[in-house]
């Protein structure tokens, strides 16, 4: 088994680039969460940043683990597969909930306006 200090540049450079790229993508997703104006645009940035950032990180760990173990190590892909399945579905459920809540708030506002219109005028 290879020691971590013995990792050659042809393994270390792609792993380092993928890790830096993962951090940059996650940071960009975080900025999108903070800077974008509405909920519907905000939910997209961290979802995509999360999925792509974790994918880059997992590929980097696969490269390093495969070299250290001296065999192909791909079981980390399970993390990415589960994330690719769950992250978009979570975002969709949050968006649907927001849509229903907005519809409910609109109906509530319409009822309040209608109640004000139907109430008798104040007596002087």
- The mean pLDDT of 14-36, rounded to a whole number, is 91
Which of 36-45, 60-69, 71-80, 106-115 has the weakest average pLDDT? Answer: 106-115
Q: What is the pLDDT of residue 15?
A: 93
Query: How many Cβ atoms from other residues are within 10 Å of residue 21's Cβ?
Result: 17
The arithmetic mean of pLDDT across residues 61-68, rounded, is 91
Cα distance between residue 95 and residue 32, in whole Å: 16
Say if 71 falls within a structural domain.
Answer: yes
Instruction: Read off the tokens for 101.
Output: 């809540």
Angle at CA of residue 34, ends 54 and 42, nearest 5°: 70
Q: Is residue 51 part of a domain?
A: yes
The pLDDT of residue 1 is 56
Residue 2 covered by a domain: no
Q: How confident is the model at residue 119 (pLDDT cuts 50, 70, 90)?
A: low
Question: Cα–Cα distance between 22 and 55 in angstroms, integer?
Answer: 8
Counting beta carbons within 10 angstroms of the beta carbon of residue 11, is it exposed (0 to 12), middle (13 to 18) or buried (19 or more)?
middle
Q: How far is CA 111 from the centre of its chain?
A: 37
Residue 36 in any domain: the answer is: yes
Residue 68 within any structural domain of the chain? yes
Residue 98 has pLDDT above 90, yes or no: no
Where in the sequence is the domain holding 13, given as residue range(s)?
8-113
Q: Is pLDDT of 54 > 70?
A: yes
Count of domains forming the chain: 1
């Amino acid at each position: 088994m290879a020691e971590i200090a013995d990792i050659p540049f042809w393994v270390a450079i792609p792993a380092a680039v993928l890790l830096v790229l993962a951090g940059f993508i996650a940071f960009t997703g975080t900025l999108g969460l903070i800077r974008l104006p509405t909920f519907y645009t905000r939910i997209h940035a961290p979802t995509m940043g999360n999925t792509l950032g974790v994918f880059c990180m997992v590929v980097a760990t696969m490269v390093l683990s495969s070299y250290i173990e001296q065999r192909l190590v791909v079981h980390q892909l399970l993390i990415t597969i589960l994330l690719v399945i769950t992250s978009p579905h979570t975002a969709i459920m949050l968006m649907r909930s927001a849509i229903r809540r907005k519809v409910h708030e609109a109906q509530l506002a319409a009822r309040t306006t209608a109640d004000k219109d139907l109430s008798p005028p104040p007596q002087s």
